[in-house]
Structure 1
Amino acid sequence: MTFQELNLIEPITKALKEEGYDTPTPIQAKAIPIILDQKDLLGCAQTGTGKTAAFAIPMLQLLHNKPVGNSERQRIRALILTPTRELAIQIGESFAAYGRYTGLKHTVVFGGVGQKPQTDALRKGIDILVATPGRLLDLITQGFIKLNQLEFFVLDEADRMLDMGFVHDVKKVIKLLPQQRQSLFFSATMPPAIVALANTILIQPVKVEVTPVSSTADTIRQSVFFVDKSDKNNLLLHILKDQSISTALVFTRTKHGADKVVKVLRKAGVTSEAIHGNKSQNARQNALKNFKSQTTRVLVATDIAARGIDVDDLTHVINYEIPNVPETYVHRIGRTGRAGAKGIAFSFCDREEKLFLRDIHKLIAKNIPVESNHPYAL
């Protein structure tokens, strides 16, 4: 199947062609016709499956096909609620890319930065709003945002939203939405709490499920390196001697750990930056921008960024520390091997982390191949 076969309008197919999109991913092929049919959707899809395009493309088409007059420009017609600033910015970029010929306006609002540029954009009038829960509710309280005429509502990364303690904020937002709307709900996992939340948002939804969280993409080559904790820095530097690794995303469990790894890498002459919750929004955005442009070779991140970093052609993810939640492993390595591309995921495992590795093997229903051909083998 190609995007041409999905009955998309010319302004969108033109933008997709410029973006190099030809064949939809499974979630896109399944979700786009359902959304264009104006049905509520419950999507179970992990990060890296192309779900932003799966909801952005049909929403843009439906909004474009139902234009509003200038007098209605002030009303927000679509809201995408997402847990992190990084994710909100990326979703905004996607709407800009796919909707560049539609004439539709969007803006992104999130906390941690001054609100004036955001409120200025809102005053001018927008069709689509991408927001994180805290800043959205703050701007609603101040009277800058009204959702009473909303046509579309998307709750993205719902399980992450609950993990980060946003459930009460999400429920507050839902109470402000009009009853008549089309709602789309996406989550990588579907535990009972998520299903219960979906039931409060959706009306007779069509369920679409692709690539459950327990599976990793076949395009990602995974390896585990058994190594003493004290040798992890040396092993990382040894791997990065391979100059064919143009960029690598390295995951640590803690903010302090991320900063320490950056210090070691910089001392060895490897350009690197950290991205985590203690960094200012500007610092995080600059680090991500430098990494995307390959000015920075290594980005060291904590798990808050595991679902919010979307970098084209990222070849290597390195788990400097094994995550203690097995699903996190799947989300981390899902940063590479995206949309059918090939990727490589290395994991450093010390003695204390073997139990975490066992849990990961249980979740993904296979053992990660062991790489013993390295100078710091345990």
Structure 2
Amino acid sequence: MTFNDLPPFLGEALAERGYEKPTAVQAAVIEEGAAGRDLIVSAQTGSGKTVAFGLAMAEQLLGESGSVPHGIAPLALVIAPTRELALQVSRELMWLYGKAGARIATCVGGMDASKERRSLRGGAQIVVGTPGRLRDHLERGALDLSSLKAVVLDEADEMLDMGFREDLEEILDATPDGRRTLLFSATMPKSIVSLAKRYQRDALRISTVGDDRGHGDISYQAVTVSPSEIENAVVNLLRFHEAETAMLFCATRENVRRLHSTLQERGFTVVALSGEHSQQERNQAMQAMRDRRARVCVATDVAARGIDLPTLSLVIHVEIPRDAEALQHRSGRTGRAGKKGTAVILVPYPKRKRVESMLRGAKINAEWIGAPTPQEIQKQDRERLLTALLAPVEVDEEDRALAQKLMAERTPEDIAAALVHAHRASMPQPEELIENTPEARKAAQQERHRPGFEDTVWFRMDIGRRQNADPRWLLPLLCRRGHITRNEVGAIRIGPSETFFQVPRTIADKFDDAIQRTAQSEEDGEPVLIVRDEGGPREQARNNSKPHRKGPPRPGAPRHDGPRHDGPRHDGPRPDGPRTYAKPGGKPPFKGGPKKGGPFKGGPNKSSGFKDPKPQA
């Protein structure tokens, strides 16, 4: 099928944009059987959906002359989940219907609402917007839907996931009964089906999602990596691919902020997109990507909706997507309009089974590989550098004069070496990573121990997060009580009600003795209980996770069908040693803990440093 049967204005616009034949979804919506009918369309991200529903609306928008008739009320309404997607749709429809004389108004959050109202009053035939802003204009009387002939819900599944159901229903309830409803959704959950039943009539179902949900133009790679080396793996992947444009996906705003800062420090030209950025900041970030002033974008899932960068060839899932649909939407930022792209999933070792299950459910065949090594990156650099330097270039007389002066001062070999050195110096250095073998991972884990902490002893304190335990005051407390320095305290593990910490075995006995002596001499409040615990936090967690044995009672043993203790509990002394308190016979410290959310009264002390915290009265 070709575009020959389309109205002249649309055919000319498509030809100028280089469209030769329609994609699968575009061909499906302009077939004779789909004309004038409500549609439910399932299509992959990047399959040409925007042009598809633009063509599908042509029958309702174009008059007998082939142009869009002028009027005050809009004829078509397009609803999109995010500002970026709405702006992208608006740009696409502008060039598609520009020759037909259509005026398009865009209504999205973060923009000047008064300007949008003026644009609506000026007579826009097509309105594109987000649910919240469109509902606001509708309730204020600025948006008149009485003459609407077609309404499009783009990425309807995402709008429902984002909580826009009430907004969508109010907008659709205000549209005429005779309007045509086109529903585009990458997935078809029950919520979409119920929405279609309520607002569509005899809808034609179109699905261009084939058995290969992974998208034929995207090659998937799953990179196994140590959880502690995620950021280093990102650096090496960016350096290995050297993509013209790359997008990195994180799950939270905080992770976007941290990774953006890390990559900036490493020398990458990078921008960030998340919910904490204003519309102006987002526009500036996207303009930097289009102008090639930035090559890397770090974003959250929602913030990246609607982004269409023609040069985007690499997507890295820095954090594992929540499900197969999220994987599909993220990866669909690349491999668009027939271009090839690469989607890389960073898989921490413990989460490999989860990712394998996700890929099976999505019917995606991913290549499992290790992160690129510095040697592999250097090899790629050499090949790219040779290609760039040996490519033909146009030079002017000034360039040749400077080249001759250099040749007079240095040998050709020295000049070439200096050029290679300058090229490499401008690029971020790759990271050394743990090899993807059990032996290498175990050896690297042992090497990461601080000098002097190869052999340690665990101690336990009877306070944790519930008592607002924090290393900032725990370290001074341990130094004061144990007569050691902060450099002699190893790992600290703060649990809900207990805290574990390490000291080198060579000073463990000395530390233990000091703890006993200083506990008796504390004057200000009852001291924190500190005891030796050879098992450490892992043994404690293992014991807590052991299920209680259940079975029939012993012959003659009394049954306990109710609570095990009718009175106060008496657990007896702890197996790891006697308790040590400030006064003989004193009550255990922190009985009941501080009030919920209340800080310790102890806190920092100006005269003598940190004191053991006391519970609030």
Amino acid at match of 1:263: S
Report how far residue 134 of structure 1 moved. 0.6
Equivalent residue in structure 2 for 1:59, among 57, 60, 73: 57
Q: Is the counterpart of residue 348 in structure 1 residue 341 in structure 2?
A: no
C-alpha distance in 2 between matches for 1:121 and 1:229 = 51
C-alpha distance in 2, partners of 1:318/1:310? Answer: 16
Residues in 2 aligned to 1:131 and 1:307: alpha-carbon distance in whole angstroms: 14
State the TM-score, normalized to the length of structure 1. 0.94
Aligned to 1:339: 337
Deviation, structure 1 residue 112: 2.0
Residues 122-201 of structure 1 aligned to structure 2 (within 5 Å):
122-201=120-199
The corresponding residue for 1:43 is 41
C-alpha distance 220-239 of structure 1, shift in aligned 2 (>3 A): same
Query: Which residue number corresponds to residue 91 of structure 1?
Result: 89
Cα distance in 2 for residues equivalent to 1:96 and 1:52? 11
The 5-angstrom pairing of residues 12-51 of structure 1 reads 12-33=10-31, 37-51=35-49
Distance in 2, Cα, partners of 1:69 & 1:241: 50
The whole-number CA distance in structure 2 between the counterparts of 1:354 and 1:277 is 29
- Deviation (angstroms), 1:229: 2.3
TM-aligned CA deviation for residue 281 of structure 1: 1.0
User: 2: distance between equivalents of 1:45 and 1:34?
Assistant: 19
- With CA pairs under 8 Å and 6+ residues apart, which has the higher RCO, 1 or 2? 1
C-alpha contact (below 8 Å) 1:189/1:212 kept by paired residues: no
1:95-147 superposed Cα distances (whole Å, 9 cap, x missing partner):
01111100011111011232122112112110000111111111111111111
- 1:309 and 1:98 map into 2 onto residues whose CA distance is 19
CA-to-partner distance for each residue in 1:1-48, whole Å, 9 max, x for gaps?
2222xx111111111111111121100000123587211111111311
SS in structure 1 of the partner of residue 9 of structure 2:
helix
Q: 1-side partners of 2:29 and 2:69: how far apart?
A: 32
**Structure 1 stretch displaced more, 117-126 or 60-69:** 60-69
- Output the CA distance in 2 between the equivalents of 1:71 and 1:29: 26
CA contact (8 A) 1:87 1:309 kept: yes
Alpha-carbon shift at residue 199 of structure 1 (Å): 1.0
CA contact (8 A) 1:44 1:209 kept: yes
Change (3 A) 1:173 1:165: same
Residue 213 of structure 2 aligns to a residue whose secondary structure is coil
- Comparing 236-245 with 281-290, greater Cα deviation is found at 236-245
Partner residue, 1:316:
314
Q: Provide the residue aligned with 1:263 in structure 2.
A: 261
What residue in structure 1 maps to residue 359 of structure 2? 361
135-144 or 28-37, larger mean C-alpha shift: 28-37
TM-score by length of 2: 0.58
1:220-240 CA distances to partner (integer Å, 9 max, x unpaired)? Answer: 111111111221221222222
In the alignment, which residue of structure 1 is the partner of 2:589? none
CA distance in 2, matches of 1:235, 1:55: 40
Which AA in structure 1 matches 2:3? Answer: F
Name the residue aligned to 1:280: 278
3-state DSSP class of the match of 1:3? Answer: coil
Q: Judge which range, 63-72 or 228-237, deviates more.
A: 63-72
For residue 226 of structure 1, give the secondary structure of its aligned residue in structure 2: strand
Deviations 1:63-108 (A, max 9, x none): 1225799996211111011111111001101101111100011111
Tell me the distance in 1 between the aligned counterparts of 2:292 and 2:69: 44
Summarize the Cα distance change of 1:71–1:341 in structure 2 as closer, same or farther, 3 Å threshold. closer
Q: Distance in 1 between matches of 2:223 and 2:59?
A: 47
The whole-number CA distance in structure 1 between the counterparts of 2:352 and 2:240 is 27
**C-alpha separation between the residues in 2 aligned to 1:34 and 1:268?**
56
Q: Given that residues 213 and 364 in structure 2 are in contact (C-alpha distance below 8 angstroms), is that contact kept between their aligned partners in structure 1? A: no
Name the stretch that deviates more: 112-121 or 349-358. 349-358
Q: 1:295 aligns with which of 293, 296, 304?
A: 293
Report the residue type matching 1:177 in the other structure. T
1:35·1:59 contact (CA, 8 Å) conserved in 2?
A: no
Give the gaps of 5 or more residues in structure 2: 374-432, 437-617
Would the alpha carbon gap of residues 306 and 69 (structure 1) be closer, same or farther in structure 2, given more than 3 Å must change? closer
Q: How many residues matched?
A: 376
Partners of 1:252 and 1:303 within 8 A in 2: yes
User: Are the counterparts in 2 of residues 45 and 212 from structure 1 also a CA contact under 8 Å?
Assistant: no
SS of alignment partner, residue 339 of structure 1 = coil
Distance 1:147 1:67, change over 3 A: farther
Is residue 2:26 matched to residue 1:2?
no
> Equivalent of 1:73, from 63, 71, 76?
71
Say whether the 8 Å CA contact 1:326–1:359 is kept in structure 2.
no
Cα offset for 1:321? Answer: 1.2
- What amino acid is the match of 1:3? F
**Partner SS for 2:312:** coil
Tell whether the 8 Å contact from 1:41 to 1:185 is kept in structure 2 after alignment: yes
| Shift in CA distance, 243/367, structure 1 to aligned 2, threshold 3 Å | closer
